[in-house]
Amino acid sequence: MYDGRKILLGLVIFLIAVTFPFWFSWVNDKSGFVPEPKLPEGEENCVESAEYMKALHMDLLNQWRNAVVRDGRRVYVSSSGNRYEISLTGTCLGCHSNKAEFCDQCHDYVGANPFCWDCHIDTSASRGEGK
């Protein structure tokens, strides 16, 4: 075995690279972390069920964008029959007014960088509640 040291070094580097995610999360103790966004006080219902919004709010927002921009529709009828204005700033941020305590909790956790804030106003920052 002429290249024994090179092979052993290569195996060690490979094992470190493969196991890096496991020991890195163990060292940082974030393996069991789950975000807990602050829910709005005094609000009973969202435009859809909590389960739907957790899993598919981004699809709903895309549908809203298309309905307003492409079709000119401004009213959303939820699965419960309630009518809502299609407005991220007016409807969503009306209840979830602190973006840092609600939206950013989960978006940071999953590494999502939504482009909503490129156009829409972050009302919490303008009132001094945000970051």
CB 59: neighbour CB atoms within 10 A? 10
Q: Tell me, what's the pLDDT at 121? A: 66
CA–CA separation, 114 and 117 (whole Å): 7
Specify the amino acid at residue 22: F
Q: Tell me, what's the pLDDT at 123? A: 52
pLDDT in tens, the chain (131 residues): 578 889 999 999 999 999 998 888 777 766 677 888 888 888 888 999 989 999 999 999 999 999 999 999 999 999 999 999 999 888 998 888 888 888 988 898 888 988 887 887 655 444 444 44
